[in-house]
Amino acid sequence: MAQQIENKIIITGMSEGIVLKGVKRKLLDAGLDATYSRPLANFLKEYEETAAVFVIYLSDDVSAMNEAIVYINDLVKAHETDLVIIGDLGERTEVLQSVPDVRITEWVERPLDMDAFVKLIKKLIKIRESRASGKSILIVDDDPTYARMVREWLKDDYQVFVVTSGMQAISFLMKRKVDLVLLDYEMPVTTGTQVLRMLRSEPETKDIHIVFLTGVGDESSVKEVIALKPEGYILKSTTKSDLMKWIKVFFANKA
């Protein structure tokens, strides 16, 4: 289920001064779709579904950009968007202290080498297009550490999305289709079985392929899940190679 995606590069910083105008012009001259956004949620939200890369240009006052970094980081995690931050080493330390879970794809130090920067952005776009032409997977798990690990296992071969609750999964899947959902069984508020039942009850989501990826392996839980007829039931104790092999065979059988 390949999806057509847009490849906008969204540049943000405290102001669109000479440097950011130069960055945007260089990207546009290279044939890339670049635009500047003010570092405020109501402006950045406009690009939630179309951004391929967010570029944050830091200035002396890193704290003034914290709100934008947090908001963009949430978008990056939800939509598998790339995040490039331009700044010096001191600013990098400040960012990591204020937003410890920030998912930075690349950190670029000043002074900025424009040609190398454009080459980097082109590489990220190419990787994104390659992933989008293949299969997409949604990981649903309330343990962000485990979800990130599985994402790292899969991201070079598939377009991978991550959500950390059952309701986030339902909301995501009502708006966007994926080829496979890896669903945790034991989650607070909305459990994996509840998520599966809700998805099966809606015409828009009833045919989505769902596999449980869980640490729960007792007989009664397994029987409850199997009765709902998911595509599979995999324990979290599985190795990276075994999970990769299982998914590869699964998609081959669905071809």
Strand, coil or helix: what is 186?
coil
User: Considering the chain, what percentage of its residues have pLDDT values greater than 90?
Assistant: 66
The CATH number given to whatever domain includes residue 162 is 3.40.50.2300
Please give the residue range of the domain that contains residue 85: 8-131
User: Does the pLDDT at position 82 exceed 50?
Assistant: yes
pLDDT tens digit sequence for 168-198: 999 999 888 899 999 998 888 888 899 999 9
131 confidence band (pLDDT: 50, 70, 90):
low
Between 176 and 222, where is the model more confident? 176
The Cα 155–Cα 253 span in angstroms is: 21
The Cα 85–Cα 108 span in angstroms is: 6
Please check whether residue 240 is in contact with residue 209, taking contact to mean a CB–CB distance below 8 angstroms: no
| Residues 67 and 175 both lie in one domain | no
Q: What is the mean pLDDT of residues 139-159?
A: 91
Which amino acid, 62?
A: V
> How many structural domains is the chain composed of?
2
Which of 105, 131, 157 is at the close of a domain? 131
| Residues 139 and 250 both lie in one domain | yes
- Residue 33: which region, alpha, beta or left (left: phi > 0; alpha: psi -120 to 50)? beta
**This prediction's pTM:** 0.60
The Cα 127–Cα 48 span in angstroms is: 19
| Residues 121 and 174 both lie in one domain | no
The answer as to whether 248 is a domain residue is yes
Strand, coil or helix: what is 36?
strand
Place of tokens 């029987």: 223
Which of 64, 98, 131 is at the close of a domain? 131
| Residues 178 and 233 both lie in one domain | yes
